[in-house]
Structure 1
Amino acid sequence: MPINTELRRSKPNLTTILGYIGLSIAAVLVMFPFAWMLSASFKPDNDVYEFPIRWIPKIFRWQNYVDIWKQIKFGVFYFNTVKLTVIITFLQLLTSSLAAYAFAKIKFKGRNTLFIAYIGTIAVPFQVYMIPQFIIIRKLGLSDSHLSLILIQAFTAYGVFLLRQFFMSIPEELSESARIDGLGELGIYAKIILPLAKPALTSLGIFTAVFVWNDFLGPLIYLTSQKNLTIQLGIRLFLSDYNQSFALIMAAAVCSMIPVVLIFLIAQRFLIEGIATTGIKG
């Protein structure tokens, strides 16, 4: 009887089968634009628009991947994007972890009220404070500089919320024992909390890095000179009133995706673990 029961349970039912079919269809729909982008990046411009789509080009035009580095300052744009991504990700991890530690492990009057008020800013759309923020940056003389984006994006309420949830799952006894041994709050934060919070820090780091790397609106508002542009703005230079090279745009888009894909593949284990554990304790 136990064996028969086990066999019955192992057989997939109709709901499971339909679920897998639905997920497979969704996966194909999600991957379709990326497959087309990769295919188009190897085609001449005239072949990009052909229909029905020829997924495997007649002739692979590798020159597209050479031209994107020659026709625009793609290397400069790449460096600018890497620079902003690294700096902003580091600052967000630092500021978010410090604030999250205070909200999770340090008891002070009005802690919960302050936390709710701060987290409430997540619900405020960026468009609401976009213009006042721009005016402040301009009056500070930081327009058309990377520092403007760094200052604006160095803090994140979402990061504080994510890390606070994880920090609260760390037993309070560890912090209390460290305090008895004479370790200060910064020591507890650096030597106990941070080493245990690697999954959550990795998750936040990936989210932040991907957001900064793909950000279009922020650089569009604050950056104007070509020497300061990021990849997302630089790709637009292939579009003009007289020439629209979609093959080069697709090749540049493929190159811009490579770091993001590599980051996810390398750190996906920590990402999944961090997401799974941030909601253990509220």
Structure 2
Amino acid sequence: MSRRKLFQKMGLYVVLTVGVVISLFPFYWAMIGATNESGKMFSSTPTLVPGTKLIENITNLNESIGIGRVMFNSLFVAGTYTMLSLIICTMAAYAFAKFHFKGRNVIFTIFLLSMMVPYHATVIPLFKMMAAFGWLNTYKALILPNLAYPFAIFLMRQNMLAFPDALIEAARIDGAGEWRIFFRIVLPSMKPALAATAIFLFMYQWNSFLWPLIAVSSEEMYTFPVALSSLFGLSRIDYGQVMAGVTLATVPIIVFFLALQRHFISGMLGSAVK
């Protein structure tokens, strides 16, 4: 290897290392804050080493928001939403990719343009709709809206466009119905795309704040983002509790991503190439 290429590779590794440190530092800072008193985080010489207040902060956090209930709400809402939305978005993507009907491209274009509408503009009509249905302060209001997520449909459609039409036609000739073709032939080959889409949907719902804040009114229905926002009082803020909550709220996302990481990377690369 020439000296020039060696320096280029070293420079690349230095840049990547700096990028990793910058990206991971907020998570490290949150974990350090969860183990220390609130005052140490904003002292003139802030500490960067773990403290001994982790159990105390978690105990105080549990007394403030009820960690078990909040974690259950977030996992149930995000998990149920991910499964239902994945089914709906996948079926819609299959229809847009493999069914030929009049106005297909126009409808799909309009559907994508809906992503450009600011979400805040839809909150009031959505709130009135949920109130008319009597779904406010229920899991229905948190899960059912936005099940047909446009980006998820777009991502799945891009992958399904590359699926051979000949296989679908052969299955139809052999007498297979559309549901059997979809579930037994098409979906098994879409596992990488399904994993990538599932991660996007899970993170979208897990991090959702504005709509759960509006749709629920009782503390028993709070999700993690809403519960953490309730820790910010008018006078005193215990940042030890806040950082402990942020750390706990980050764990499910990391676990879910790591579990599907291999499929996520291959699915994203596949959709880009296709």
TM normalised by structure 1 equals 0.91
CA contact (8 A) 1:74 1:234 kept: no
Q: How does 1:154-233 map to 2 (within 5 A)?
A: 154-233=147-226
Distance 1:77 1:172 in 2: 46
Can you give the 5+ residue segments of structure 1 that lack an aligned partner in the other structure? 1-6
Question: Among 85, 88, 95, which residue is 2:88 paired with?
Answer: 95
The amino acid across from 2:182 in the alignment is Y
> Shift in Å at residue 59 of structure 1?
3.9
Distance in 1, matches of 2:4 and 2:72, equals: 52
SS in 1 for 2:260: helix
Residues 1:75 and 2:40 are matched in the alignment: no
1:220-259 mapped onto 2 (5 Å cutoff): 220-259=213-252
Which residue of the partner structure matches residue 148 of structure 1?
Answer: 141
Kindly state the Cα deviation for residue 90 of structure 1 after the two structures are TM-superposed.
0.7
1:78-137, Cα deviation, whole Å (9 max, x unpaired): 111111011110111110011111111111122111111112211222122222222222
Distance 1:229 1:61, change over 3 A: closer
Match of 1:12 in 2: 6
How much does 1:180 deviate? 0.7
Structure 1, residues 171-204: CA drift from partner, whole Å, max 9, x if none?
1111111011011111110111110000001101
Residues 197 and 9 of structure 1: CA distance in aligned 2, closer, same or farther (over 3 Å): farther
Identify if the C-alpha distance between structure 1 residues 68 and 18 changes in structure 2 by more than 3 Å, giving closer, same or farther. Answer: same
Which letter maps to 2:185? I
Aligned mates of 1:273, 1:191 — CA distance in 2: 21
Q: How does 1:11-160 map to 2 (within 5 A)?
A: 11-12=5-6, 14=8, 16-57=9-50, 59-160=52-153
* Percent identical residues: 30
- Shift in Å, 1:48: 2.4
Per-residue deviation, 1:60: 4.7
- Superposition deviation, residue 29 in structure 1: 2.0
| AA matched with 2:5 | K
RMSD over aligned CA atoms reads 1.9
SS in 2 for 1:62: helix
Give, in whole Å, the separation in 1 of the partners of 2:3 and 2:133: 66
Q: Residue 268 of structure 2 corresponds to which residue in structure 1? A: 275
Matching residue's letter, 2:190:
A
Distance in 2 between residues matched to 1:137 and 1:209, nearest whole Å:
22
Query: CA–CA distance in 2 between the matches of 1:28 and 1:156?
Result: 33
Letter in 1 for 2:171: A
Larger radius of gyration: 1
TM-superposed CA distance for 1:69, in Å, is 2.0
2:255 alignment partner AA = L
User: How far has the Cα of 1:239 moved from its partner?
Assistant: 2.5
SS at match of 2:6: coil
- Specify the SS of the correspondent of 2:144: helix
C-alpha offsets along residues 32-84 of structure 1, whole Å, 9 cap, x if unaligned? 22111111100122222223221114545432223322333221111111110
Aligned to 1:12, the other structure's residue is in SS state helix
Kindly tell me the number of residue pairs found equivalent between the two proteins.
Answer: 274
TM-score with structure 2 setting the length:
0.93
Q: CA contact under 8 A between 1:235 and 1:252: conserved in structure 2?
A: yes
